[in-house]
């Protein structure tokens, strides 16, 4: 796979916080704004610069607060994270509508961004997305396991704080052992993708960057995910495509049609045999679909 490391940028936000942004591809090309998953970062996406050049795309991957080069923000909200991301788009001189791409929990942040900035978002693509757990109607769709996680995070935050801090230490002290440990815990569809050497390296490096700042960023991100969202799905105007693996062992596909029905213009791409890391196998297909939906 033709690849080049991303450009590492650091921006100063209006309140003085530092925000890290990874940029893949030519700064003059149409922009895709990528929202990373929980406990990971923009380093977990394929750095296929030849594909980006052929499609005329660049990818901007901001670090959420407490991830990578971004300062921790204990008071973060979905609205504030969206505002940080759009600040990066404007500060880097991106013109016109952008595509928004979100993986896993990043899909919830992508929806929040599309709801807050409907004029700036031309198309929305959600990869293995989760539901906003703190929203009453979405909560009713959750499995017993995810409802238990929500209860633990909201009622016993000390446990999740300790877990996030422990994982941060482990990722930074023994990244190779830690990614191998996680792969052993995965379902078969996720293992099949993650065991490939190039994908293993992406997932490892993405998690090391994700668990920066002693794990405080992922802790606050998890707490936010469990709170009632400060955005309205009905405000999203961009067409939304939900890519989801039918063998996803992290977030089962059962409630993806429900979520698509909540999004104006929502449609599903349910992929047989694919797991939570479906983007690592379908990256070219996903970006090609995005490019078709962005105006020239």
Give the rounded percent of residues in the chain with a pLDDT score beyond 70: 99
What is the average pLDDT value for the chain, to the nearest integer?
96
The predicted structure's pLDDT at residue 296: 77
Residue of 130, 125, 77 lying closest to 108 (CA atoms): 130
157 has a pLDDT exceeding 50: yes
Q: Identify any residues that bridge with 124 across adjacent strands, giving them in sequence order.
A: 100, 240
Mean pLDDT, residues 48-54:
96
150 burial level (CB within 10 Å; 0-12, 13-18, 19+): middle
Flag whether 106 is in a domain. yes
**267: in domain:** yes
CATH number at residue 181: 3.40.50.1820
CA 158 remoteness from chain centre: 25
Q: What is the mean pLDDT of residues 1-13?
A: 86
Q: What are phi and psi of 158, to 5 degrees?
A: -60, -35
Instruction: List C-alpha distances in Å: 47 to 29, 119, 138, 155.
Output: 16, 28, 33, 39
Q: Residue 155: is its pLDDT beyond 90?
A: yes
- Which H helix or E strand runs over 51? helix 49-55
Would you state the pLDDT for residue 264?
85
Residue 39 belongs to a domain: yes
Let me know: does 132 contact 229? Beta carbons within 8 Å: yes
Is the pTM here over 0.95, yes or no? yes
Give helix 157-173 / helix 216-226 axis angle, nearest 10°: 140
**Does residue 2 belong to any structural domain of this protein?**
no
User: Residue 141: inside a domain, yes or no?
Assistant: yes
pLDDT bucket at 1, cuts 50 / 70 / 90: very low
Average pLDDT of the segment spanning 262-275: 96
**Range of the structural domain that residue 186 is part of:** 7-293
Residue 230 belongs to a domain? yes
Mean pLDDT of 179-204: 97
Q: What is the pLDDT of residues 196-249, one digit of tens each?
A: 999 999 999 999 999 999 999 999 999 999 999 999 999 999 999 999 999 999
1 within some domain: no
Distance CA 229, CA 8 (A): 30
Contacts of 275 (CB under 8 A, 6+ apart): 186, 187, 188, 189, 190, 192, 193, 245, 247, 248, 249, 250
Which residues have C-beta within 8 Å of that of residue 84, sequence separation ≥ 6?
13, 19, 62, 64, 65, 70
Domain count for the chain, please give it: 1
Q: Is 189 exposed, middle or buried (0-12, 13-18, 19+ CB in 10 A)?
A: buried
Q: Answer yes or no: is 119 within a domain.
A: yes
């Amino acid at each position: 796979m033709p690849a080049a490391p991303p450009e590492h940028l650091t921006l100063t936000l209006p309140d003085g916080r530092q925000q890290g942004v990874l940029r893949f591809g030519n700064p003059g090309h149409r922009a895709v704004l990528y929202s990373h998953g929980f406990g990971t970062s923009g380093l977990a996406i394929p750095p296929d610069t030849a594909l980006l050049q052929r499609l005329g795309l660049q990818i901007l991957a901001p670090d959420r607060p407490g991830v990578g080069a971004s300062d921790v923000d204990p008071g973060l909200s979905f609205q504030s994270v969206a505002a940080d991301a759009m600040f990066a788009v404007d500060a880097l001189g991106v013109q016109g509508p952008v595509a928004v791409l979100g993986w896993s929990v990043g899909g919830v942040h992508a929806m929040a961004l599309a709801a807050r900035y409907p004029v700036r978002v031309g198309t929305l693509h959600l990869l293995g997305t989760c539901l906003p757990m703190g929203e009453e109607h979405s909560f009713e769709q959750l499995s017993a396991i995810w409802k238990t996680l929500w209860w633990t995070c909201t009622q016993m935050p000390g446990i999740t704080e300790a877990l996030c801090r422990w994982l941060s230490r482990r990722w930074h002290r023994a990244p190779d052992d830690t990614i191998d440990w996680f792969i052993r815990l995965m379902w078969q569809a996720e293992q099949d993708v993650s065991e490939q050497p190039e994908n293993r390296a992406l997932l490892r490096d993405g998690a090391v960057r994700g668990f920066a700042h002693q794990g405080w960023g992922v802790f606050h991100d998890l707490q936010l995910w469990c709170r009632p969202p400060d955005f309205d799905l009905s405000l999203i105007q961009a067409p939304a495509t939900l890519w989801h693996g039918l063998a996803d062992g992290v977030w089962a596909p059962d409630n993806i049609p429900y979520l698509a029905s909540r999004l104006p213009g929502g449609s599903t791409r349910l992929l047989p045999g694919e797991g939570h890391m479906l983007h690592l196998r379908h990256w070219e297909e996903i970006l090609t679909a995005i490019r078709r939906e962005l105006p020239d």
